[in-house]
Chain A
Amino acid sequence: MSGTGIGARVQRKEDFRFLTGKGNYTDDVNRYGQTHAAFLRSPHAHAEILSIDAAAALAMPGVVAIFTGDDLAADKIGGLICGWMIHSKDGEPMKAGAHPALAQGKVRYVGDHVAVVIAETLSQARDALEKILVDYKVLPATVATSDALKPGAPVVHDVAPDNAVYRWALGNEAETEAAFAKAAHVTRMDIVNNRLIPNPMEPRAAVGDYDSGNDAFTLYTTSQNPHVARLVLSAFIGIAPEHKLRVIAPDVGGGFGSKIFIYAEETVCVWAAKKVGRPVKWTSDRTEAFLADAHGRDHVTHAELALDAAGKILGLRVHTTANLGAYLSTFSSSVPTYLYAPLLSGQYDIPAIYCEVDGVYTNTAPVDAYRGAGRPEATFVIERIVEVAARELGKDPAAFRRQNFVTSFPHQTPVIMCYDAGDYGAALDKALSMADYAGIGARKAESARKGMLRGIGLSAYIEACGIAPSAAVGSLGAGVGLWESAEVRVNPIGTVEILTGSHSHGQGHETTFAQLVSERLGISIDNVSIVHGDTDKVQMGMGTYGSRSGAVGMSAIVKALDKIEAKAKKVAGFVLEASADDIDFKDGKFTVRGTDKEIDFASVALQAYIAHKFNGQELEPGLKESAFWDPTNFTFPAGVHICEVEIDPATGVTRIERWTAVDDFGNVINPMIVEGQVHGGIAQGVGQALLEGAVYDATGQLVTASYMDYAMPRAGDLPSYQIGMTQTVCPSNPLGIKGCGEAGAIAAPPAVINAITDALGHEDIAMPATPLAVWRAIQKHQPRAAAE
């Protein structure tokens, strides 16, 4: 390993730019003649639009244009799409209601887009917005997840008269029934997975630009996957054919999934740029982000676990109602289905699983993938129910988990997944030791002496990353393939540009990808640059989400580097007058086996371009290769997190006293960056467990529409983490990487709630376990220890 190669704790190359304010975000993009867009949003959760009168607004100073859904329709601009087809149990395709970028006749959630004002300045656009008169006929709204399917619930889309998008199932119902029939014990639970609002630090933004000379569009936007955005805007929405539409996602300040999707505002900005003949810019304010960024989670679940007399799990039966909001966002349909139910086996050998999911419409913001996307929801179900089962059986939760762990690989679960590699016992042993699990009794006694309640909670999570192979996801309904691409351009002096279809919005690709190149080519990471986020520069790629950039994106780079090495050996062979087969490449040097002849990488690069030592019939000049990598399987990161809490029964305040995380991410490129991902993931998971929750009132108004009411985790809410790793190499990609971006957010919520319920002595607490919720739970159930 070189000092900057694979496994080195290299400081992030991109941080100098970010920390000194030299980043280039979408809102930093300003085009000559630029106008500003402001969106009129629905104040009602559900209403018919009887009329829109924009005459007074149009007359306001600086107003360039005002558009409504009728203008989009007149230009034959299509609606926003959902790219994953889900079929119900009965074979019916999902009921996708139309999703125009600007409302046509009806609004379906507070924040829905009604009209856009384009003006010389943002203030003028906002002033004019207030002068648009909309006559609404307010309709009753369906708001709560558990109300959507009730008879008589207000209908969100006519295509789904019972508000069911689909009624889907996975697993074997008959085998699961049989498992329950022979069970000695059944654990039953009702579980709510609270709705979250993503809140990346940088809000969404877009600048649309139109070049009339070339009849070509450019969209600068906050996207995690600019090529997919271009594909959707071109093929489905109809802005322009792909070769006339360039999408640039420059520096992006966090996404967590919310910037995967193709939204109304970005679509309108690029379309309107041609309409008004000038660039159109929009940057979301924080309130708009709360109202109209796709939310996450929001499941209502009933789960049952069948066990034999010895405590072996026989079967799992789950029914989930998943709130998809008012419209199907880009990948929303897949999140509570194929990204959820296949993970319900957890780390356990469960012979029979059956899961039904009803996806429902409500008059709330669309719900789509958010850090973990389906896997946190599955992990919360399985890790809560095994904890409760262990407690009901009087077994130690750690021992109960160990008794049911999958121990041999590959392991085919009853729900699609085939786990390829892992050692779940090793992670559990290490985590128990690091967390001093054995000493918890003494610590509980010490807390009790102070009048406090202490509890410990485990979470043995598994996730599936690097969603693939493309043919497999295609058979499950995905509208796209989930491979990744890379191009390696070696310049004549031996510096290297990597063009990747992955997209960095905080993950540190400029560092980790350069480390891979440094390792392979024996050159400094300073001689490597990573190019991403521009469809005119980079070949088609699929973007970054689902912890896929390492396992899939870097694997594509490896394939391209393999081709570079092979070609470079041929060049070296000509220069050193030897057969390419006799050339070895190591530490940046090409040597002829059995001789002292050698040439370094940079010299070979130069020889490849000057092409003096070979002719064009023998070898093409140049040194540039590309590759597309389609994995053979998902990857399966797994681990054990242990949370220890102390609760003040007088106030209900929960403090996390200790956090132990032991993760198996396979091979690791940069441990510092991986640990950072774990830290951030745990923070978001703790946020879900203790603080965050989107609250709509009964009429569909978002109560938590600002940081005054939506509680984000702060540093003071979190402990210092103890982080450890175990390692089993992933067999399905050349680097043996599993992925680490979502693990913390997946592992953390059940660890926190298991710790709190351990402290409280009962299971009756929902997320977020705020001080109010915990205090009420204590009042309701009489605490084990005396309150203050």
Chain B
Amino acid sequence: MYPFTYHRPDSVSAAAKLAGDAEAKVMAGGMTLLPTMKQRLASPGAIVDLNGVSGLSGVTVAGGKVTIGAMTRHADVHTSAELRKAIPALADLAGWIGDPMVRHRGTIGGSVANNDPAADYPAACMALGATIVTDRREIAAEDFFTGLFDTALEQGELITKIVFPVPQKAAYQKFRNPASRYAIVGVFVAQTSAGVRVAVTGAGESGVFRVKSFEDALSKDFSAKAIEAIKLPTDGLNSDIHADAVYRAHLINVMARRAVDAAK
């Protein structure tokens, strides 16, 4: 690890000010940032630690919406009783992230801001039509995830909470990398008042994406059979030693069908 300046602000405004420095990196759970720094792959000049900022954690359900504070740990999302009633698929998803240590440190805001192409939460945000709320604006998930490890966040802009409309039914199915346990393919299917949305993580070269052909078919007939015959193109899908693009395209279909079957 290289030397850096450490800040632990106690308010969102103070944090945002410190994070405005182009040399600074914001740390929520630190579950990606710290290992990267330890391996000397990242060398931020300053760390802005959000763990001293109060009021950014917790899950609330009201008015057909679930609001999750940016600093809510995966373990708390996973075990939230209100969330399990409202969007069980999202509670399940949080329980699939990393290992117990990661789930007790890592946060939803950190994961969404990092936009790792194999992270789980981006699929949920896209499929559920979430709104990412920052210290200065509200951003639709659709506009938020802009590419590999890239988001619409500006330098110094901080996610404060994420708002998920409660769907009629939803499910997340994750096919895990045998080594890292990240998603090789993760498919989040949600049946909402605005139609069916299907979002895929782990597979795309540019991160999370929606599958229009599945959404159209499922909007007409919400059954696994409705998408069984739809072959996805392999363009834009990742290939690595664990899964090539052909296998990933196939798995997206399999995982989507399983998600449809499991949706509740």
Minimum CB–CB distance for A776 against chain B, Å: 7
Measured between alpha carbons, how far is A324 from B138 in the docked complex, in Å? 59
For A710, list chain B residues within 8 Å (CB). Answer: 179
* In the complex, chain B residues whose CB is within 8 Å of the CB of A123: 1
Shortest beta-carbon distance from A248 to chain B in Å: 29
Q: Is the CB of A770 within 8 A of B254?
A: no
Q: A105-113, A383-391, A700-708: which lies at the B interface?
A: A700-708
Within 8 Å of chain B (Cβ to Cβ): is A448? no
Measured in the bound complex, the distance between the Cα atoms of B99 and A707 in whole Å is 13
The residue in chain A whose Cβ has the minimal distance to the Cβ of B39 is A287
Between B175, B241, B243, the greatest number of chain A beta carbons within 10 A of the residue's beta carbon is seen for B241
Given the known interface contacts A709-B242, A775-B250, the answer about A770 and B180 at a Cβ–Cβ threshold of 8 Å is no
How many A-B pairs with Cβ below 8 Å?
Answer: 43
Contacting pair A707 B180 (CB below 8 A): yes
The distance in angstroms between the C-alpha atoms of A771 and B175, with both chains bound, is 10
- B40 engages A772 (CB within 8 Å): no
Residue of B nearest to A771 (CB): B178
Of A690, A707, A788, the most chain B CB neighbours within 10 A belong to A788
Question: Counting CB contacts under 8 A, is A186 at the interface?
Answer: no
Task: Given A123-B1, A707-B179, A711-B178, answer yes or no on A788-B254 (Cβ-Cβ < 8 Å).
Answer: yes
User: Taking the complex as formed, is A695 at the interface, i.e. its CB lies under 8 A from any CB of chain B?
Assistant: yes
- Other-chain contact of B247, A703, A708, A712, A775 (Cβ < 8 Å): A775
A772 adjacent to B1 (CB under 8 Å): no
- Least Cβ distance of A703 to chain B in Å? 6
Q: Taking the complex as formed, is A691 at the interface, i.e. its CB lies under 8 A from any CB of chain B?
A: yes
Given the known interface contacts A651-B254, A775-B250, the answer about A709 and B180 at a Cβ–Cβ threshold of 8 Å is yes
Shortest C-beta distance, B42 to chain A (Å), equals 15
Instruction: Check A772–B242 contact: CB distance below 8 A.
Output: yes
With contacts A123-B1, A770-B178, A775-B247 taken as known, whether A709 is within 8 angstroms of B241 at the C-beta atoms is: yes
Q: Does B171 contact A (CB under 8 A)?
A: no
Which chain A residues lie closer than 8 Å to B243 at the CB level? 772
Taken residue by residue from 468 to 499, chain A's Cβ proximity to chain B (1 for < 8 Å, 0 otherwise) reads as: 00000000000000000000000000000000
Known: A123-B1, A126-B40. A772 touches B247 (CB 8 A): yes
| Category for how many chain B residues contact A | 10 to 19
Name the A residues within 8 Å of B250 (CB-CB): 775
- Render A766-788 as a binary contact track against B, CB cut-off 8 A, 1 for contact: 00001110011000000000001
Q: Among residues 69 to 87 in chain B, which have CB atoms less than 8 Å away from a CB atom of chain A?
A: none
Are A709 and B179 interface neighbours, CB within 8 A? yes
Q: Does B166 contact A (CB under 8 A)?
A: no
A776 touches B179 (CB 8 A): no
Interface residues of B in 208-259 (CB under 8 A from A): 240-244, 247, 250-251, 254
Q: Does A650 contact B (CB under 8 A)?
A: yes
Q: Which residues of A contact B2 (CB under 8 A)?
A: 127
Partner of A708, one of B175, B179, B251: B179
Query: Which secondary structure dominates chain B's binding surface?
Result: loop
Query: What residue in chain B is nearest A129 (Cβ atoms)?
Result: B40
Distance in angstroms between the alpha carbons of A328 and B175 in the assembled complex: 40
| Chain A stretch 696-728: residues in CB contact (< 8 A) with chain B | 703-704, 707-712
- Contact mask for chain B residues 20-53; partner A; CB cutoff 8 A; 1 contact, 0 none: 0000000000000000000110000000000000
> Considering the chains assembled together, what is the distance between the CA atoms of A650 and B173 in angstroms?
14
Q: With the chains together, A432 CA to B180 CA distance in Å?
A: 36
Query: Which of A127, A770, A788 is B242 in contact with, Cβ under 8 Å?
Result: A770
| Contact (Cβ within 8 A) A703 B251 | no
- Identity of the chain A residue whose Cβ is nearest the Cβ of B2 in the assembled complex: A127
Bound-state CA distance A126–B3 (Å) is: 13
Chain A contacts for B40, CB-based, 8 A:
126
Q: Which residues between 376 and 426 of chain A lie within 8 Å of chain B, taking CB atoms?
A: none
In the complex formed, the residue of A with least CB distance to B257 is A788
Find chain A residues with CB under 8 A from B175 CB: 651, 771
Which of A126, A651, A707 sits near B251, CB closer than 8 Å?
A651
Per the bound structure, the CA–CA distance linking A772 and B179 in Å amounts to 13
Expressed in whole angstroms, the Cα–Cα distance for A676 and B167 within the complex equals 49
Q: Which residues of B contact A772 (CB under 8 A)?
A: 242-244, 247
User: How far is A674 from B1 in the complex, measured between Cα atoms in Å?
Assistant: 43
Min CB–CB distance A60 → chain B (angstroms): 13
Closest residue of A by beta carbon distance from B180:
A708
CB-based nearest A residue for B175: A651
Tell me the bound Cα distance from A707 to B39 in angstroms. 14
With CB as the reference atom, state the residue of chain A lying closest to B250.
Answer: A775
Query: Once the chains are docked, how many angstroms separate the CA of A255 from the CA of B104?
Result: 32
Q: How far is the CB of A783 from chain B (nearest CB, A)?
A: 14
CB-defined contacts of B177 to chain A, threshold 8 Å: 711
Q: Shortest beta-carbon distance, B153 to chain A, in Å?
A: 25
B254 lies within 8 A of A650 (CB): yes
Residues of B within 8 A of A770 (CB): 178, 242
Which residues of chain A (725-768) have a CB below 8 Å from chain B?
none
A658→B47 CA distance, assembly (Å): 50
Shortest B203–chain A CB gap in Å is 13
Whole-angstrom CA separation of A123 from B180 in the bound complex? 27
Q: Is the beta-carbon distance between A703 and B254 smaller than 8 angstroms?
A: no
Shortest C-beta distance, A126 to chain B (Å), equals 7
The distance in angstroms between the C-alpha atoms of A252 and B133, with both chains bound, is 51
Which chain A positions have C-beta within 8 A of B251? 651
CA distance A386 to B260 in the complex (A): 45
Are B241 and A691 in touch, CB under 8 angstroms? Answer: no
Residues of the A chain whose Cβ atoms lie less than 8 Å from the Cβ of B240: 709
B residues near A712, Cβ cutoff 8 Å: 179
Q: A126-B40, A650-B254, A709-B242 are in contact. Are A691 and B178 (CB under 8 A)?
A: yes
| Cα of A695 to Cα of B241 in the assembled complex, Å | 8
Interface centre among A651, A695, A775 (most CB of B within 10 A): A651
CA distance A285 to B254 in the complex (A): 39
Residues of B within 8 A of A690 (CB): 178
Distance in Å: Cβ of B66 to nearest Cβ of chain A: 30
Residue in A127, A652, A712, A771 whose Cβ sees the most chain B Cβ within 10 Å:
A771
Leading 6 A-B pairs by shortest Cβ distance: A711-B179, A711-B178, A708-B180, A650-B254, A709-B179, A772-B247
List 14 A-B residue pairs with CB atoms under 8 Å apart, sorted by A's residue number: A126-B40, A651-B251, A652-B247, A690-B178, A704-B179, A709-B179, A709-B242, A710-B179, A711-B179, A770-B242, A771-B175, A775-B247, A775-B250, A776-B247
Interface residues, chain B, CB within 8 Å of chain A?
Answer: 1-2, 39-40, 175, 177-180, 182, 240-244, 247, 250-251, 254
Interface residues of A (CB under 8 A from B): 123, 126-127, 287, 650-652, 690-691, 695, 703-704, 707-712, 770-772, 775-776, 788
Given A287-B39, A770-B242, 17 more contacts at CB 8 Å?
A127-B2, A651-B175, A651-B251, A652-B247, A695-B241, A704-B179, A707-B179, A708-B179, A708-B180, A708-B182, A709-B240, A709-B242, A711-B179, A771-B175, A772-B242, A775-B247, A788-B254
